[in-house]
Amino acid sequence: MSGSYIPIRTAFREVGLRGSGMRVVLFVLECALGMLCVAMIGVLASWLPWLLPVVGLLSFLVVVPIALWSGFWQAVVVSLSAVAVQTYFTAQQARFNPEADAANTVSLFAFIVTALLVSRLSARATEHSQEAELWGGQMHDLYEFTRRTLQMNLHVEPGAQLAELVHEIFALEAVVVFDADLHKTYQAGYWAENPQEMAQNVYYFETSDDDEQTGIGRRVVRLGTVPVGSLVVRGETSPLTNNAIASLIAITFDRYRAFANETRIESERHTEQLRATVLDSLAHAYKTPLTAIRAASSGLSEMGHLSAAQADLVSLIDEQAGLLSELTTRLLRTARLDAGEVAVHAVPVDVGAMIDEVVASLRERLASMKLVIDLPDDGLMLCCDRELISMLLTQYIDNACKYSIFGTAITIRAVEQKSEVIFSVHSYGPVIPMADRERIFDRYYRSSTSSNRASGTGIGLSVAKRAAMIHGGYVWVNSDEVEGTTFYAAIPSQQQKKESQ
């Protein structure tokens, strides 16, 4: 319809007329207006006889504007009323000029065909023009909505901002947006019914439709094929526009999640850096008093003349100070590894000799264990940082000592496969659940099945992982009730091959 009818439409909407009811009333009014004009032409022709020959042309001038401004069917009705008027005046002319009947009949037929043809063409042209104008306005609104969403503050939840933007830019009566991830509903405009329940039903039942009677459009907001929320609007929008709005809301939800994750990861990184710095500072601060305590306990032991109870206390002090010193050393190594302050000093190392050296350093822990060393190649060499790889093996063997079942064997194995030397430490103990096998190498994490069985800090395996990664290697674990638990470390041997060339 033409823009001249917009006030009429607005008035009907204000009194509650929508959809087909409003269209029927408009159709009747437009037809009545055209028929009134045709009737006035007839009245004028009856008063002014010299207008009789051009009554058809005058009626034609009424039908064409009706066709342009209203539509095809309104023009048909007005054309039929004009034909009736033309027929009446043709009969009047026949009284005075009988020879005019045939010509008037042909003129009448030509008038009908021409009027309907013009009506149809004008209706199509008007419809296309209106669609182009409407689509151009919607494209402008969508562009503005896209621009405004890109400027949104993603530090706060986007739902409320999106509801207000849709309500404002598209001039809708009411809007409600449901964010399934946050399980929150945001609304703008006036809703007579409960919009929260409506929006949640759209999401849970995945309902997407447009109701012309109520002017309500419902859309499920999806990221790909995954529903992430819903949108319900009330007002004059096209289905394509509703689809586009829902897609832009989904993209905004995704941007908000990504921004939140990025912020969280950055915060965790800063926290981890701070924790590493604190650990490093504390470890350095503990070194001096621990050295003094161990020196004092050694001095007391060498003084002699101690009772049995006093000797036990001194021995306990020395033992616990040693444990604290070892823990402090681990903390220092962890902080330095995480900070990237450890440089790899790669030299050719005899793997068998290195394993014997690690086992010798743990002889007290291994005194009550059955130990098996499996080296298929006695002359196996690896170009690596001896201290770091020794530390890795120490952590693996120490871990096996803590959790092995008494009387079972601990097997240490090293074998070269392709371009890697694979170290493994096998033991029988509690099964590590599948969900824990990745996280067990994270700092401070301890498997739920063994956290209460042995003392520890959860640092050792993370140090072993970092030592392997610094060499370009990787670690993993297999655990089974029948086969037992095996910790692996794969260290690339490419450097050794280059060294030998």
3-state SS assignment for residue 111: helix
Domain spans in the chain, listed from the N-terminal domain onward: 3-144, 156-341, 347-500
Contact 156, 252 (CB under 8 A): no
Q: Tokens at residue 387, please?
A: 């201290």
CB atoms within 10 A of CB 290: 18
pLDDT at 4: 40
Q: Tokens at residue 308, please?
A: 């049995």
Pick from 409, 113, 154: nearest CA to 259:
154
Contact 398, 460 (CB under 8 A): yes
Q: Tokens at residue 316, please?
A: 């306990």
Q: For strand 409-417 and strand 370-374, is the pairing parallel, antiparallel, or unpaired? A: parallel
**Separation CA 326–CA 332 (nearest Å):** 10
3-state SS assignment for residue 364: helix
pLDDT at 416: 92
pLDDT at 54: 67
H/E/C letters for each residue in 191-246? CCCCHHHHHHHHHHHCCCEEECCCCEEEEEEEECCEEEEEEEEECCCCHHHHHHHH
pLDDT digits (tens, 9 = 90+) for 66-82: 766 776 677 777 777 77
What are the strands, taking DSSP E only, across 404-473?
Answer: 409-417, 420-427
β-sheet bridge partners, residue 189 = 174
pLDDT digits (tens, 9 = 90+) for 273-316: 666 666 666 666 666 787 778 777 777 777 777 778 878 887 88
Per-residue b or e along 111-139, where b marks 16 or more CB atoms closer than 10 Å to that residue's CB: bbeebbebbeebbeebeeeeeeeeeeebe
Per-residue b or e along 93-106, where b marks 16 or more CB atoms closer than 10 Å to that residue's CB: beeeeeeeeeebee
pLDDT at 74: 77
Q: Which residues contact 196 (CB under 8 A, 6 or more apart)?
A: 176, 178, 185, 187
What parts of the chain have a pLDDT lower than 50?
1-18, 99-102, 451-452, 496-501
**Separation CA 162–CA 167 (nearest Å):** 9
The CB-based long-range contact list for 64-67 (8 Å cut-off, 24+ gap) reads 64/115, 64/118, 64/119, 64/122, 66/30, 66/33, 66/34, 66/119, 67/115, 67/118, 67/119, 67/120, 67/122, 67/123
**Separation CA 176–CA 167 (nearest Å):** 9
The DSSP code sequence of 26-85 is: HHHHHHHHHHHHHHHHHHHHHH-GGGGGGHHHHHHHHHHHHHHHT-HHHHHHHHHHHHHH
**Separation CA 397–CA 411 (nearest Å):** 9
Angle at 68 between CA 62 and CA 69, to 5 degrees: 90
**Separation CA 476–CA 449 (nearest Å):** 18
What percent helix, strand, coil does the chain show, rounded to 5? Answer: 65, 15, 20
Domain 347-500 class, CATH top level: alpha beta
Sign, CA dihedral 495-496-499-500, equals negative
Q: What is residue 443's DSSP assignment?
A: T
pLDDT at 427: 93
Contact 165, 148 (CB under 8 A): yes
Contact 411, 426 (CB under 8 A): yes
Q: Tokens at residue 306, please?
A: 């101690």
**Separation CA 119–CA 83 (nearest Å):** 15
CB atoms within 10 A of CB 197: 10
Residue 319 CB-density burial (10 A; 0-12 exposed, 13-18 middle, 19+ buried) = exposed
| CATH code for residues 156-341 | 3.30.450
